[in-house]
Amino acid sequence: MWVQPPPGERSGNRGFHPDADEAQAQARVWDRLFSQVPLEKKRAERDWGWLVGRLRRAGVRSVLDLGAGQGYWSIALARAGFQVTALDISQVAMERLRTWAREEGLDIETWVLPAQQLPTARRFDAIIANSVLDHMTLAQAREVLRRVNAVLNPRGLVYLSFDAPGGEAVRPHLVLPDGTWYYRGGKWDGMLWRPYRDEEIASLCAGLGLEILEFTVRESGARAVWARPRGG
Ligand SMILES: C[S@@+](CC[C@H](N)C(=O)[O-])C[C@H]1O[C@@H](n2cnc3c(N)ncnc32)[C@H](O)[C@@H]1O
């Protein structure tokens, strides 16, 4: 199903189609965005005790950083001694992370692919997706969580975060039938972002066999979720 640009948009713009080609289009969008922003290494210097401590207490050794971006979280976790695999749809972001990890002598495996195509052969003790699931359609987010559940070790942990639902309403966007925004024009042209309600996050997790351990709403309105496989 195609969603066409509203009448009056300049010709040459195309609609949105959530298929394999669209994954390539999303990769191009994120490559473009990352090419326009510098790597800010000091963002890996914040206090990660809340994350590192929780993972250590749960006995976690291997972590998959899903939608890792330039790798602030991956670097921090690798420095703390975890065995980190970083996945992102953006080649540009993963290249930067590879270079950074090499400079620090950190061994971080990097995978460039859409999270909805996460291979299910490897297992991880923990999976982290910070501000990632809201950058895809609802069907894609479901597929990602289905795969997350499949690759988690039975006593594994999941950390997910979702932006505040208010979003950047001022920026022009189309709304896809599932409620996902498709930004048009400006620096975010082509980016997907879906405003999630708290109940939707809860039902997304529950529907895919994840038991929520903790659901936090930050002052900014962003949501953070710790979960584990049901029965884990
Ligand atoms: C807001 S950034 C967050 C980056 C990182 N998690 C962080 O907190 O610094 C969203 C990230 O999701 C990635 N992304 C978007 N759609 C994706 C998809 N379908 N599969 C994998 N990564 C995706 C983008 O390339 C980008 O790196």
Q: Express each pLDDT in 144-189 by its tens digit.
A: 999 999 999 999 999 999 999 876 556 889 999 999 999 998 889 9
Q: What is the CATH number of the domain that holds 48?
A: 3.40.50.150
H or E segment and range at residue 86 = strand 83-88
- Domain count within the chain: 1
Evaluate whether residue 147 is within a structural domain: yes
- pLDDT, residue 11, reads 33
Evaluate whether residue 1 is within a structural domain: no
Angle at 163 between CA 158 and CA 165, to 5 degrees: 125
- pLDDT, residue 232, reads 73
pTM here is 0.92
Which numbered atom of ligand 1 lies nearest the CA of 72? 9
Cα of 8 from ligand 1 centre, angstroms: 31
- pLDDT, residue 5, reads 42
Angle at 121 between CA 120 and CA 127, to 5 degrees: 55
- pLDDT, residue 166, reads 75
Evaluate whether residue 11 is within a structural domain: no
Distance of alpha carbon 105 from alpha carbon 100, whole angstroms: 9
- pLDDT, residue 169, reads 59
Of 91, 97, 85, the closest CA to residue 39 belongs to 97
Using DSSP's 3-state secondary structure scheme, residue 75 falls into helix
Cα of 112 from ligand 1 centre, angstroms: 11
Q: What is the DSSP string of 125-155?
A: EEEEEET-GGGS-HHHHHHHHHHHHHHEEEE
Q: What is the CA radius of gyration of the chain?
A: 18
Do residues 164 and 193 make contact, with C-beta atoms less than 8 angstroms apart?
A: no
- pLDDT, residue 16, reads 56
What tens-digit pLDDT sequence spans the chain (232 residues)? 334 444 334 333 445 555 557 899 999 999 999 999 999 999 999 999 999 999 999 999 999 999 999 999 999 999 999 999 999 999 999 999 999 999 999 999 999 999 999 999 999 999 999 999 999 999 999 999 999 999 999 999 999 999 998 765 568 899 999 999 999 988 899 999 999 999 999 999 998 899 999 999 999 899 999 999 988 7
Evaluate whether residue 7 is within a structural domain: no
Cα of 2 from ligand 1 centre, angstroms: 24
Q: What is the DSSP string of 166-186?
A: T--TTS-EEE-TTS-EEE-SS
Of 131, 117, 140, the closest CA to residue 18 belongs to 140
Ligand 1: residues with CB < 6 A are 26, 30, 67-69, 72-73, 88-90, 93, 114-116, 130-132, 135-136
Domain hosting residue 108, numbered range? 16-229
Evaluate whether residue 5 is within a structural domain: no
CA 138 to chain centre: 13
* CA-nearest residue, atom 15 of ligand 1: 135
Residue 113 DSSP symbol: S
Evaluate whether residue 6 is within a structural domain: no
Residue 12 DSSP symbol: T
For 190, other C-beta atoms within 10 Å of its C-beta total 19
Evaluate whether residue 10 is within a structural domain: no
